[in-house]
Structure 1
Amino acid sequence: NHSLRYLLTGGDKLKQVKPVPYQLVNNYGPTENTVVATSGIINPDQGTLPIGTAIANTRFYIMGSLYDLSPPGVPGELVIAGKGLARGYWNLPEETEKSFVPDPFYPGERMYLTGDLVKWTEDGELIYLGRKDHQVNIRGFRIELSEIEAQ
Structure 2
Amino acid sequence: LNGASLHFFDVQQLGLNHLAAWLKEAEITVFFAVATMFRHFAMTLRGDEQFPNLRLILLGSETVYARDVQLYQKYFSGDCQLIVNLGGTEVSPIRQFKVDRHTQITTSNVPAGYAVEDHEILLLDEQGREVGVGEVGEIVVRSRYLAVGYWQQPELTAAVFSIDSQNSQKRLYKTGDLGRLLPDGCLLHLGRKDFQVKIRGYRVELSEIEMALCRLPGIKEAVVTTQVDALGEPILVAYIVPSESNLTLD
Q: What range is the shorter-chain TM-score in? A: 0.7 to 0.9
**Equivalent of 2:96 in 32, 39, 56:** 39
**Equivalent of 2:112 in 40, 44, 51:** 51
> Does 1 or 2 have the higher relative contact order (CA < 8 Å, sep 6+)?
1
Greater fraction of residues in helix: 2
Task: Give per-residue Cα distances to partners, 1:31-50, cap 9 Å, x unaligned.
Answer: 1113x221120364121221
Alpha-carbon offset, residue 3 of structure 1: 3.5
Q: Which amino acid aligns with 1:110?
A: R
Secondary structure in 2 matching 1:90:
coil
Secondary structure in 2 matching 1:40:
strand
Alpha-carbon offset, residue 109 of structure 1: 3.0
Runs of 4+ in 1 over 3 A off after TM superposition: none
The answer for unaligned runs of 5 or more in structure 1 is: 136-151
Secondary structure in 2 matching 1:127:
strand
1:74 maps to what in 2? 135
Give the structure-2-normalised TM-score: 0.50
Separation in structure 2 between the aligned mates of residue 105 and residue 15 of structure 1, nearest angstrom = 36
Secondary structure in 1 matching 2:62:
coil
2:85 maps to what in 1? 27
Rg: which structure is higher? 2
Asked if the contact 1:32/1:86 (under 8 Å) is kept, the reply is yes
1:144 maps to what in 2? none
**Equivalent of 1:103 in 157, 161, 164:** 164
2:230 maps to what in 1? none
Secondary structure in 2 matching 1:133:
helix
Secondary structure in 2 matching 1:96:
helix
RMSD (Å) for aligned C-alpha atoms? 1.8
Q: Which amino acid aligns with 2:105?
A: Q
Separation in structure 2 between the aligned mates of residue 119 and residue 134 of structure 1, nearest angstrom = 16
Separation in structure 2 between the aligned mates of residue 45 and residue 89 of structure 1, nearest angstrom = 39
Separation in structure 1 between the aligned mates of residue 59 and residue 142 of structure 2, nearest angstrom = 22
Asked if the contact 1:80/1:112 (under 8 Å) is kept, the reply is yes
Secondary structure in 2 matching 1:117:
strand
The answer for unaligned runs of 5 or more in structure 2 is: 1-50, 197-250
Q: Which amino acid aligns with 1:24?
A: L
* Percent of aligned pairs with the same amino acid: 33
Q: Which amino acid aligns with 1:29?
A: G
Within 5 Å, give how 1:6-17 maps onto structure 2: 6-16=56-66, 17=69
Separation in structure 2 between the aligned mates of residue 38 and residue 11 of structure 1, nearest angstrom = 12
Secondary structure in 2 matching 1:38:
strand
Separation in structure 2 between the aligned mates of residue 91 and residue 15 of structure 1, nearest angstrom = 36
1:145 maps to what in 2? none
**Equivalent of 2:176 in 112, 115, 120:** 115
2:27 maps to what in 1? none
Alpha-carbon offset, residue 14 of structure 1: 0.6
**Aligned length, in residue pairs:** 134
Alpha-carbon offset, residue 134 of structure 1: 4.4
Task: Give per-residue Cα distances to partners, 1:75-118, cap 9 Å, x unaligned.
Answer: 10000121221111111111111010232332353200000000
Separation in structure 2 between the aligned mates of residue 82 and residue 105 of structure 1, nearest angstrom = 12
Asked if the contact 1:42/1:50 (under 8 Å) is kept, the reply is no
